[in-house]
Amino acid sequence: MLDEEGFKELPPSEFMQVADSTWLVLNVVSNGREPPGCQATGVTKIARSVIAPLAEHHVSVLMLSTYQTDFILVRERDLPVVIHTLAGEFDIYREESGECVPVTCDDMSNGFLKPKPAASPTLHPVQSPQTRFCVLTVAPDTLPAIATMLIDVLFYSHSPPWEAGAGSQDFDSITFFSFSLIEGYISIVMDAETQKRYPLSFPSDLLLTSSTGELWRMVRIGGQPLGFDECGIVAQIAEPLAAADISAYYISTFNFDHALVPEEGIAEVIQLLQQRQESSR
């Protein structure tokens, strides 16, 4: 995922597949302000108030959790539906030249069509590898120092790729690395073994982890690539976890969705999701 200006700088390539929609970013904050560097409230905290209503109105979303906060991406063409859906619960603002300008339903009424009720979403299979992950951040000025490590992990890592069948419900490990740079804040997700291989890249005085230093386990959604048109995929995971007050760290990718949950809660998470699938049959 990258902004339009960054995309324009990419050279054309026959090997690059691009989603056919432009996406806008929503950020849910408390009292209109998000303190810089604070811990994220987690996807489950906004599931019922944002994700579930959008799914009910047939709005497809992507999620991107970072170390600092959570972002919800919606297609630009769906913005009128998004505004009408959320205006009853939220004060909505758009950013113009660095300033937050209030948005009302009247502003977005032109061309708005009341959406048809969404069909019941497909409950996709979920898979949970044994891999343990770290969610971390580093100070922005350390980026040049860790650039070589990032390139090595992204392109030259010798971690074995996951080769289980697409429909497999059980696999031992998964190769997953996520790096995001948003408004100067860096957020990294990597498996614990990879972090151990690069101790010099993350000296203790520069590594900012959670106060408990907890590790995370992954739940991956989808046995086959999910695409971008289906609605309710994020809600499939977020809603039951919200009901159980379990925090989550959610990353949508081009093919699959991934939720990270605290390691000590993975058994409960798997049980909750299995119960949801069984009840829907």
Residue among 61, 116, 115 nearest 84 (CA): 115
Percentage of the chain exceeding pLDDT 90: 12
* DSSP 8-state secondary structure symbol assigned to residue 223: S
Phi-psi region of 184 (alpha: psi -120 to 50; beta: other; left: phi over 0): left
CA 230 to the chain's CA centroid: 16
Its pTM stands at 0.77
Q: Compute the average pLDDT of residues 140-147.
A: 85
Q: Compute the average pLDDT of residues 33-54.
A: 62
Q: Decide if 220 contacts 257 (C-beta within 8 A).
A: yes
Q: Tell me what pLDDT residue 83 has.
A: 92
Residue 65 has pLDDT above 70, yes or no: yes
Task: Between 200 and 119, name the one with better pLDDT.
Answer: 200
Angle at 195 between CA 193 and CA 201, to 5 degrees: 150
Q: Decide if 76 contacts 22 (C-beta within 8 A).
A: yes
The overall average pLDDT reported for the chain is: 78
Q: pLDDT band at residue 76, thresholds of 50, 70 and 90? A: very high
Q: Is 7 exposed, middle or buried (0-12, 13-18, 19+ CB in 10 A)?
A: exposed
Q: Compute the average pLDDT of residues 45-67.
A: 83
Q: pLDDT per residue over 211-248, tens digit each? A: 556 789 998 887 666 666 666 677 778 888 888 888 88
Q: Decide if 170 contacts 126 (C-beta within 8 A).
A: no
Residue 109 has pLDDT above 90, yes or no: no
Residue 9 has pLDDT above 90, yes or no: yes
| Count of beta carbons in the 10 Å neighbourhood of residue 31 | 6
